[in-house]
């Protein structure tokens, strides 16, 4: 197994050996294992702002930011102190709190067209609950998802999914029964005709179309003009609920997420990542007439012991309040990401290698591809072996990119112009020896 051995990572290597004795694959989530890029995953000890520090004391400029949540950078003071204070009042009640009302009011004030919201503890829970609600509300069973989109690991979604399944090229998941996935229909991202064909062939049977409005689990894939608008119109015509999976884009692309940024209203929206400020939080919300079908008001059952947990709530509430009260953050994030885009483009052009850079807001990805990357097939057809080499060269220069060509890079507000320059210098040097 190729090791990241130009930088001393002996302590991470020891920890990884030890971790594999008691944790499957040595990690608690597959994408952390460096399996597709090869090498030893680095064990982190602490992080602050734009920087993460591994067990060997190496410092990295972080472009994962916990796969999205750390939008303000690591250990954001306001969130840390809010957690520390609140923990002293007990870490969980299992009873309602005023803080949950304040969190729901803040979310519904920031996100357009969300009347009501239910808190859960992960993006997976948010998406599986939203799908169940759509099925319960419409009385229909089938739903459409897009190849390369990832909506968490609930059975019905593990069909042609992105993120770790794309990274490891997992086509079928043992344990996901035909019964669980028989109602899952798939279409290529950006292919409105394919969706129209599916709705025609399954007339009156489709409860929902769920989509990442800007996809981030096959690299960053941008919706082509008219695609999302076409889905919205189709859902209106066919009585299908449009679910925006905004676990990645929510509160990252804008205070109102992709709905605000793109000017398109979904019927249900799922959230995660940023919404918890690094604590385990997910949520789903939408129109009142739909959300009222959720138990205990309605009969679509959904529950969670730690849903609305006070520590997670105060972390998420503090993070969202920061973002709502400082809208300039989004412009700053976009500008930082644009600077990375321009610099990477210059470096890649100088290298003479074919490439595509996809960017939307503070989501960006680099594909070593000769043709545009507008869907999963395009992303899979890119020269991802070269990406893997590029990943390690950058890592050895202290730049921590997502360890897969099938992930978007996440920019944080803590990344400075000097950090961008350091990143671009590392990229030029890496491309020169690739």
Q: Under the rule (CB under 6 A), what is the footprint of ligand KE4?
A: 29, 31, 67, 122-124, 127, 150-152, 163-164, 212, 216-217, 245, 247-248, 272, 282, 407
Cis peptide before 296 (omega within 30 of 0): yes
Which residue, 123 or 136, is less far from ligand KE4 as judged by CB?
123
Cβ atoms of 123 and 270 closer than 8 Å: yes
| Tokens linked to 419 | 């950090």
Which residue, 118 or 397, is less far from ligand KE4 as judged by CB?
118
Least distance in angstroms from the C-beta of 432 to ligand KE4? 30
CA-nearest of 356, 367, 362, 417 to 390 is 367
Least distance in angstroms from the C-beta of 42 to ligand KE4? 15
Which residue, 39 or 272, is less far from ligand KE4 as judged by CB?
272
| Tokens linked to 166 | 């794309």
Least distance in angstroms from the C-beta of 187 to ligand KE4? 17
Which residue, 282 or 308, is less far from ligand KE4 as judged by CB?
282
Which residue, 163 or 365, is less far from ligand KE4 as judged by CB?
163
Phi, psi values for residue 381, rounded to 5°: -85, -10
Q: Tell me the residue nearest to ligand KE4 as measured from the CB.
A: 123
Cβ atoms of 274 and 106 closer than 8 Å: no
| Tokens linked to 323 | 């973002």
Which residue, 129 or 396, is less far from ligand KE4 as judged by CB?
129
CA-nearest of 239, 228, 249, 258 to 151 is 249
Least distance in angstroms from the C-beta of 192 to ligand KE4? 20
Region at 146 (left for phi over 0; alpha for psi -120 to 50; beta for the rest): beta
DSSP per-residue codes, 285-333: EE-HHHHTTBTTTSSB----TTTT-HHHHHHHHHHHHHHHH-THHHHHH
Least distance in angstroms from the C-beta of 150 to ligand KE4? 5
Say if strands 59-62 and 399-400 run parallel, antiparallel, or are unpaired: parallel
Least distance in angstroms from the C-beta of 47 to ligand KE4? 16
Complete edge-to-edge strand list for the sheet that includes strand 409-410: 356-360, 363-367, 409-410
Least distance in angstroms from the C-beta of 216 to ligand KE4? 6
Which residue, 145 or 397, is less far from ligand KE4 as judged by CB?
145
* CA 400 to each of CA 24, 57, 322, 328, 386: distance values in angstroms, whole numbers, following the listed order: 23, 14, 26, 26, 16
Which residue, 247 or 426, is less far from ligand KE4 as judged by CB?
247
Question: How big is the chain, counted in residues?
Answer: 434
* CA 66 to each of CA 73, 75, 410: distance values in angstroms, whole numbers, following the listed order: 10, 12, 9
Least distance in angstroms from the C-beta of 124 to ligand KE4? 3
DSSP per-residue codes, 142-178: EEEEETT----S-GGG-SS--THHHHTT--S-TT--H
Which residue, 4 or 122, is less far from ligand KE4 as judged by CB?
122
Output the CA torsion sign for 138, 142, 146, 151.
positive
Angle at 428 between CA 332 and CA 7, to 5 degrees: 95
Say if strands 241-245 and 268-271 run parallel, antiparallel, or are unpaired: parallel
Query: What amino acid positions are annotated as catalytic residues?
Result: 150, 245, 273
Least distance in angstroms from the C-beta of 148 to ligand KE4? 11
Q: Distance (Å, rounded) from C-alpha 423 to C-alpha 185?
A: 40
């Amino acid at each position: 197994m190729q090791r990241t051995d130009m930088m001393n990572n002996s302590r991470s290597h020891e920890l990884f050996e030890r971790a594999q004795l008691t944790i499957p694959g040595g990690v608690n989530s597959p994408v952390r294992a460096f399996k597709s890029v090869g090498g030893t995953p680095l064990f982190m000890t602490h992080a602050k702002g734009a920087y993460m520090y591994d067990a060997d004391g190496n410092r990295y400029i972080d472009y994962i930011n916990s796969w999205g949540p750390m939008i303000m950078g690591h250990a954001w003071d306001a969130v840390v102190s809010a957690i520390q204070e609140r923990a002293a009042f007990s870490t969980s009640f299992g009873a309602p709190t005023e803080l949950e009302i304040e969190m729901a009011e803040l979310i519904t004030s920031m996100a357009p067209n969300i009347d009501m919201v239910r808190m859960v503890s992960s993006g997976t829970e948010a998406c599986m609950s939203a799908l169940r609600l759509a099925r319960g509300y419409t009385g229909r069973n089938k739903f459409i998802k897009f190849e390369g989109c990832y909506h968490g690991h609930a059975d019905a979604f593990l069909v042609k999914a992105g993120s770790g399944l794309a990274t490891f090229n997992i086509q079928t998941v043992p344990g996901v029964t035909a019964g669980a996935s028989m109602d899952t229909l798939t279409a290529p991202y950006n292919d409105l005709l394919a969706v129209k064909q599916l709705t025609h062939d399954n007339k009156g049977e489709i409860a929902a179309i769920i989509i990442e409005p800007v996809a981030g689990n096959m690299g960053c894939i941008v919706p082509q003009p008219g695609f999302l608008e076409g889905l919205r119109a189709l859902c209106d015509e066919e009585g299908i609920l449009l679910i925006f999976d905004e676990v990645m884009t929510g509160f990252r692309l804008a205070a109102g997420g992709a709905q605000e940024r793109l000017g398109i209203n979904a019927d249900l929206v799922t959230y995660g990542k940023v919404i918890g400020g690094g604590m385990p939080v997910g949520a789903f919300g939408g129109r009142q007439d739909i959300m009222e079908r959720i138990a205990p008001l309605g009969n679509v059952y959904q529950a969670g012991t730690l849903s609305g947990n006070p520590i997670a709530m105060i972390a998420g509430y503090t993070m969202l309040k920061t973002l709502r009260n400082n809208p300039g953050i989004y412009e700053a994030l976009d500008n930082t990401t644009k600077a990375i885009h321009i610099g990477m483009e210059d470096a890649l052009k100088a290298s003479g290698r074919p490439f595509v850079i996809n960017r939307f807001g503070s989501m960006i990805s680099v594909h070593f591809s000769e043709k545009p990357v507008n869907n999963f097939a395009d992303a899979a057809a890119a020269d991802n072996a070269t990406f893997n080499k590029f990943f390690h060269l950058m890592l050895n220069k202290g730049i921590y990119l997502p360890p897969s060509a099938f992930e978007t890079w996440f920019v944080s507000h803590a990344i400075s112009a000097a950090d961008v320059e350091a990143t671009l210098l590392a990229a030029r040097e890496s491309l020169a020896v690739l």
